Amino acid sequence: MMMVIMKLVLLVFAICRLIATVGLTLDPTELLRLELKGQLSLDPSDVETASVDFGRMHRAEPWGVLHPATGADVSRLVKSAYESTHGFAVSARGHGHSINGQAMTANGVVVQMSDGKPGMQRNIVVSQESMYVDVWGGELWIDVLSSTLEYGLAPKSWTDYLYLSVGGTLSNAGISGQAFNHGPQITNVFELDVVTGKGEELTCSEESNSELFHAALGGLGQFGIITRARIALEPAPQMVRWIRVLYSNFSAFTHDQEYLISLHGHQDSQKFDYVEGFVIVDEGLINNWRSSFFSPKNPVKISSLNVNGDGGSVLYCLEVTKNYRESDADTIDQEVEALLKKLHFIPNTVFTTDLPYVDFLDRVHKAELKLRSKGLWEVPHPWLNLFVPKSQIAEFDRGVFKGILGNKASGPILIYPMNKNKWDNRTSVVTPDEDVFYLVALLRSALDNGEETQTLEYMSDQNRRILKFCKDAGIKMKQYLPHYTTQQEWIEHYGEKWTQFYRRKMEFDPRHILSTGQRIFKPSFNPSSASW
């Protein structure tokens, strides 16, 4: 009992000191009366962690950090903010992989949904009969996979990187090479528990509280904090045949990608399970960390391929996989050969490897460990992710891949198509208004190594030039993981969906408490210029 009293005294002292230091108009009892099972921390190390993100281009210090033990903790905090006379912001943070400070706030509390450490599972419940898994919103996908594999099952749709939180990817979309077949992660969810901006913790699905269900999926945290998700499962394969082929002709490259995703309705034996691609604008990229497929002892050299295409020094790599069980290994060669025969890649550029399913899904983490060992992970990441309509992808190639980017790139450039009919238009995500659209992801890292083309300023300027090129050329792209600084830009981003988006905001977060770091809605409690 004495220990509890001491903690309360220290917390009161810390809050009062914070108020005196930065002039906050907050009654300390508003936070102290929450009766949390978790911990509300004002520890400088917690605050520092919540003040930066993967992008490392923005900074905002919260008042404190909540480490919730239950969804009820999140509900109590948000309800306190909603009912507070002065009000304060609440931002949910998963593994901290936002790029532009979306999970930060300088005028409230960050809810640390995930500690970012694999193996720190909460109560993950797998239903073999109904083929789903129930997980905490802050759970990392790598831990979800580990738990479901014990039952021979796995989620259907993934992101390329598994050290992201469930709530984080579901608040955006969650995409990878399986999206052409299964859709993004947000179309593979049966049910959610969501804490709204009023502090209500509601269970929602297609049948119950459906408006909140569809709003929260891809909703950028604007309508609620996802505290639980029920995710669709399928039988997990054991092995993966991983194949890469090279193209010098962009038209042939996109034709083949579009052909492969058109097979989504065919039998498993007649299609690939994963279709992605990436652009190689200089020789270093083909063997870089994201593309760590070829043997370091026998690297692929563009100059050795005798390539004469329409792209000059630009090459395009198609990346596909075929899942299988060890008992079906005899049929894989024939299935792969039949599919490859219909493609138009450069002869003699087929590179193949076989590996366990888990190793394929977790491939980027191995590259992360290499970069961390070299001090190249915690650097600025001026990423730019765009959805580009199929009808304008060739123009984008000419203006960006062969134009603005030149022959230097510090990080992978992904490009692959998706079928719009695999996306649910009722969710909050916006995509181009065509049956097929491409993800173009410039996943670059800025380095302070004396090379101008590797600097944050240079890459940020390139991003601005790319966006201006799209606008001037009339390319009707949409940003994925969007970042804008004015509400008018957000209105243009959502287009016809803005009216619905705004109505949902007024219904589920009328005081604009949640996710102020997205800079979509100005909070009603007069935030300082530090966060708006």
pLDDT tens column, 125-138 = 999 999 999 999 99
**Which of the residue ranges 17-26, 79-88, 514-523 would you say has the lowest mean pLDDT?**
17-26
Q: Which two tokens stand for residue 178?
A: 């399986």
- Which residues are the active-site residues? 97, 160, 276
**Which of the residue ranges 255-269, 305-319, 347-361, 399-413 would you say has the lowest mean pLDDT?**
305-319
Q: What share of the chain is helix, strand, coil (3-state, %, to 5)?
A: 35, 20, 45
**Which of the residue ranges 206-210, 218-222, 279-283 would you say has the lowest mean pLDDT?**
279-283
Q: Check pLDDT > 90 for residue 497.
A: yes
Q: Check pLDDT > 80 for residue 306.
A: no
* Chain position carrying tokens 């220990």: 3
Q: Where does the pLDDT of residue 336 fall: very low under 50, low under 70, confident under 90, or very high at 90 and above?
A: very high
What percentage of the chain exceeds 70 in pLDDT? 86
Q: What mean pLDDT do residues 168-175 have?
A: 98
Strand ranges of the sheet holding 274-280, from the earlier edge strand across to the other edge: 351-356, 239-247, 315-324, 274-280, 413-419, 436-442, 384-389, 478-479
Q: What mean pLDDT do residues 32-55 have?
A: 91
Q: Check pLDDT > 90 for residue 492.
A: yes
Beta carbons of 303 and 279 less than 8 angstroms apart: no
Q: Check pLDDT > 90 for residue 532.
A: no
Nearest to 462 by CA among 391, 387, 532, 411: 411
Q: What mean pLDDT do residues 395-420 have?
A: 91
Axis-axis angle for helices 487-494, 498-508 (nearest 10): 120
Task: Count other C-beta atoms under 10 Å from residue 478's C-beta.
Answer: 19
Task: Count other C-beta atoms under 10 Å from residue 256's C-beta.
Answer: 22
Q: Check pLDDT > 70 for residue 23.
A: no
Mean pLDDT value across the chain = 90
Task: Count other C-beta atoms under 10 Å from residue 326's C-beta.
Answer: 9
Q: What is the pLDDT of residue 304?
A: 61
Beta carbons of 107 and 113 less than 8 angstroms apart: no
Q: Check pLDDT > 90 for residue 301.
A: no
Q: Where does the pLDDT of residue 529 fall: very low under 50, low under 70, confident under 90, or very high at 90 and above?
A: very low
| CA 288 – CA 317 distance, rounded (Å) | 13
Q: What is the SS3 assignment for 85?
A: coil
Q: Where does the pLDDT of residue 527 fall: very low under 50, low under 70, confident under 90, or very high at 90 and above?
A: low
Q: What mean pLDDT do residues 158-184 have?
A: 98
Q: Check pLDDT > 50 for residue 384.
A: yes
Q: Where does the pLDDT of residue 35 fall: very low under 50, low under 70, confident under 90, or very high at 90 and above?
A: confident
pLDDT higher for 324 or 6?
324
Q: What is the pLDDT of residue 2?
A: 54
Non-local CB neighbours of 43 within 8 Å, separated by 6+ positions: 65
Q: Where does the pLDDT of residue 1 fall: very low under 50, low under 70, confident under 90, or very high at 90 and above?
A: low
Q: Where does the pLDDT of residue 21 fall: very low under 50, low under 70, confident under 90, or very high at 90 and above?
A: very low
Nearest to 62 by CA among 84, 82, 77: 77
Q: Check pLDDT > 60 for residue 81.
A: yes
Q: What is the pLDDT of residue 302?
A: 60
| CA 205 – CA 182 distance, rounded (Å) | 19
Q: What is the pLDDT of residue 296?
A: 47
Q: What is the pLDDT of residue 79?
A: 96
Q: Where does the pLDDT of residue 123 fall: very low under 50, low under 70, confident under 90, or very high at 90 and above?
A: confident
Nearest to 483 by CA among 92, 95, 101, 96: 101
Q: Check pLDDT > 70 for residue 87.
A: yes
Q: What mean pLDDT do residues 305-334 have?
A: 83
Tens of pLDDT, residues 417-461: 999 999 999 999 999 999 999 999 999 999 988 899 999 999 999
Q: What mean pLDDT do residues 70-76 have?
A: 96
* Chain position carrying tokens 């009062």: 16
Amino acid at 170: L
Chain-centroid distance, C-alpha 487: 22
Chain-centroid distance, C-alpha 143: 17
Nearest to 512 by CA among 526, 494, 500, 498: 526
Nearest to 164 by CA among 144, 178, 192: 144
Q: What is the pLDDT of residue 367?
A: 87
Q: Check pLDDT > 90 for residue 307.
A: no
Cα pseudo-dihedral 32, 38, 42, 48, rounded to 10 = -150
Q: Where does the pLDDT of residue 180 fall: very low under 50, low under 70, confident under 90, or very high at 90 and above?
A: very high
Q: Check pLDDT > 50 for residue 291.
A: no
